[in-house]
Amino acid sequence: MSARVLVVDDIATNVKLLETKLSAEYFDVLTASNGPDALAICEQGLCDLVLLDVMMPDMDGFEVCRRLKNSPTTAHLPVVMVTALDQPSDRLKGLDAGADDFLTKPVDDTALFARVRSLVRLKAVTDELRARLMASRHGFGDPLATATAETGQNGRVLLVDDRPSSYERLSAALSQYHRVEVEADPQAAMIRAAENEFDIVLISLDLQGFDGLRLCSQLRSLERTRHVAVVLIADMDDRSKVLRGLDIGAHDFLVRPVDRNELVARVRTQVRRKRFAERLRDGVQHSMDAAITDALTGLHNRRYLDVRLANLFEDSAKRGASLAVLLLDIDRFKSINDRFGHDAGDEVLREFATRIRTLTRGVDLVARYGGEEMVVVVPEASLDEARFVAERIRERVGSTPFGFADKTRALDVTVSIGVAARQPSDTSAQDLLKRADLALYRAKDQGRNRVIAAAA
């Protein structure tokens, strides 16, 4: 995967070395020799990842990282700090500033490329979700505005480790900030992860008789666990396993002996990132739902009805199966608006939609056709069966007065319904709807509050 990588270092030879290595791996490389220039490039959205030196004059790497992570426009940008500092306290300072990882000079090429590719993949997913959400909102309400608000605390953590001396120490460190569950059996861990909503799974790579990377791979491939953050816990000599884990989808890793503060900082970062991506996905789903849902009644809207009914019609025609349509219209609805106001009319429509839903099956399609008209599409139903459904709806609507929110009055409401079933001569769903509409017209013409089925 190609990406734009910003290399920030005040020493030209260091910049040239990293630029050469990254370019050979087909990354596009931008460079900056100081903090302010790096911030300007990032704020313009010109890069996908930052390789940031710590020791720079005027503004050091810690301050640059802190500013990037505290700005809504750059908080999602992965930052890898590259430095000669190798003490745990230095890593912790970088992680607290918001860095996604720490690489120590001289930088190992394999580790560098594995980390860059892993973080670029994560950012690509975030960018895609954000783009979809922005498009569905027509450019308003950038979700990155809330990116800095997430604390990464009180996450639900699954720790997969079969060494009591290890998991007791790790669990104690994390339990101050998160809800931690320990599972020694990797097979049971997979089941627990699939059945529960964990924010992060920590996997020991030295499980007795089991390859921890297998569990990592399973978590990445299963739909219910695909988005959970995965952090590997490795021994010093597990370098090849760690790199392989990053390649198959692990988000981060820790090396034993695990520093308590680094553990807390890395888990916090992963929980924060996972929750932000989750909000983006929820926003995209909400926007998709809103695009096919009538805001007043909660039923599907006309746009969805047209597409879905056409598909159902085509399928039933191919299989020679039955398909019926009910077209419902509230009797004298205009007089309700005229006498009681449009708010009362809206309440009637909402209650009308609720009653229809309670009397239809999950496989039936219920949609608002327009105004006070609703459509019910009944798959696998003959004309007589559809007429029975229509009569049941008509009786339920007319048998109980519609109440209002102020509870000061109730209103008797009736409905007229036209019913039609697919005929071999029908060429499209519109033929079916047209016959239902003609039947509805006859029901209105014959006195309302009745069901009329279209003639074959």
Confidence bin at 140 (pLDDT 50/70/90): very low
| Mean pLDDT (the chain, rounded) | 89
Residue 81 φ/ψ, nearest 5 degrees: -85, 130
CATH number of 302-453: 3.30.70.270
Higher pLDDT, 145 or 452: 452
Q: Are 268 and 231 in contact (CB under 8 A)?
A: no
CATH 3.40.50.2300 describes domain 150-287:
yes
SS3 of residue 52 by DSSP: strand
- Residue 356 to residues 227, 359, 403, 436, Cα–Cα distance (Å): 37, 5, 16, 17
Question: Comparing C-alpha atoms, which of 32, 41, 60, 273 is closest to residue 150?
Answer: 273
Q: Are 13 and 19 in contact (CB under 8 A)?
A: no
CA distance 283 to 288: 9
Question: Comparing C-alpha atoms, which of 59, 50, 73, 55 is closest to residue 127?
Answer: 73
CATH number of 1-142: 3.40.50.2300
Residue 233 φ/ψ, nearest 5 degrees: -115, 115
100: left (phi over 0), alpha (psi -120 to 50) or beta: alpha
CA distance 386 to 377: 9
Record the tokens describing residue 94, joined without a space.
Answer: 């970088």
In percent, the amount of the chain with pLDDT more than 70 equals 95
Q: Which of 267-281, 303-317, 442-456 has the lowest mean pLDDT?
A: 267-281
List, by residue number, the catalytic residues.
372
Indicate where the chain has its CATH 3.40.50.2300 domain(s): 1-142, 150-287
In this prediction, residue 283 carries a pLDDT of: 74
What are 298-315's pLDDT values in tens digits?
A: 999 999 999 999 999 999
Q: Are 157 and 178 in contact (CB under 8 A)?
A: yes
What are 112-137's pLDDT values in tens digits?
A: 888 888 888 888 877 777 776 666 55
